[in-house]
Amino acid sequence: MQFFKKPSIDFIGNRKFGYMFSGTLIFITLVLLFVRGPNYGIDFRGGVSIRVKFDNSVTVKMIRNSLQKIGYGNAEIKETSRKTVGGIEKEMIIQVELTRKPDVIASKVTEQLKKDFSKGLDIRSIDTVGPKIGGELRRAAIWAVLFSMLLILVYITLRFEFRFAVGAIIPLFHDVLITLGFFLIFNLQISLDVVAAFLTIVGYSLNDTIVVFDRIRENMRTRRRESFSQIINESINETLSRTVITSFTTFLVILVLFLFGGEVIHDFSFAMLVGVVIGTYSSIFVAAPLLIEWEHYSPRHKKMAEVRARKAHKPKRR
């Protein structure tokens, strides 16, 4: 299936517009990161998570109004439901930041819920994450992203060349940073689920980039008389239909999860929505053009480009 029939878009000639767009988003992200900082969830800050079963008449607003009476109106409340033999079973996940001892918080919240919603109330579980553990999780999440990038750098260097590895790694930082920027703009919480989404975005974006790079490498072997920029531009156009179709179908699935998946996976699916779009964009407008910049500024590859250019303009023998 071909979404575009023999496209001939000059991606390389217009790469400066991609740089400007990416630079603007990254600048906004960095400003928000230093001015406001990430809005960490209780996974990283520490807090109490209480899973409670209610009957279907209880809403998030009603629970928040109840907790407002004891000073926990700003608690994070997520609604989830599942099918059981008896019908739809509704559960609420109430997360409260640590402001005092966990046992005291859990006791006050459960007592207030029993007072206002005694009918159909069932406390399923109470979990606590301390500030120290939250800090360790935050550091572990950062190291997980960085370590995955390092492994990817080594793999692509062995599979392709070091310049291809650099051209793949920089867009991955680009994708994660811009996705984080959207979380900062909308003040969404960064939880372990969101970190998992970031790692998924890294894998998805890398897959798109590898497809483009593989076509570039193949064309470099068969089109020796063409310039490096022509090869890259033609390779992007040749893989454009595949990239757009794959990304569009993935986007539709994640959109359904975002709209109908419930509050529990809302932030995860939002991160994936942004990540799929940005990852597809970076594979075309960031990853491949970076190879051109490497060619321009690397002495060895600059010399090789000059040799290819002389061969391309050398008249053929009759």
pLDDT, tens only, 208-263 = 899 999 999 899 888 877 888 899 999 999 999 888 899 999 999 999 999 988 77
Amino acid at 45: R
- Distant-in-sequence, close-in-space partners of 13: CB < 8 Å, separation ≥ 6: 233
H-run or E-run covering 126:
strand 122-129
Closest CA to 18 of 178, 181, 251, 210: 178
Residue 113 tokens, joined: 């819920």
pLDDT, tens only, 95-116 = 898 878 888 899 999 999 989 8
pLDDT, tens only, 301-316 = 556 556 655 655 555 5
pLDDT > 70? residue 120: yes
Share of the chain above pLDDT 90, in %: 35
Residue 161 tokens, joined: 């060349």
| The pLDDT of residue 171 | 92
Dihedral angle sign, alpha carbons of residues 127, 133, 135, 136: negative
How far is C-alpha 139 from the geometric centre of its chain's CA atoms?
A: 18
pLDDT, tens only, 24-79 = 999 999 999 999 888 888 878 878 989 998 876 788 889 999 999 999 988 888 88
pLDDT > 70? residue 8: yes
More confident: 298 or 187: 187
**How big is the chain by its Cα radius of gyration, in Å?**
25
| The pLDDT of residue 270 | 96
pLDDT, tens only, 240-255 = 988 889 999 999 999 9
Closest CA to 209 of 250, 247, 255, 256: 247
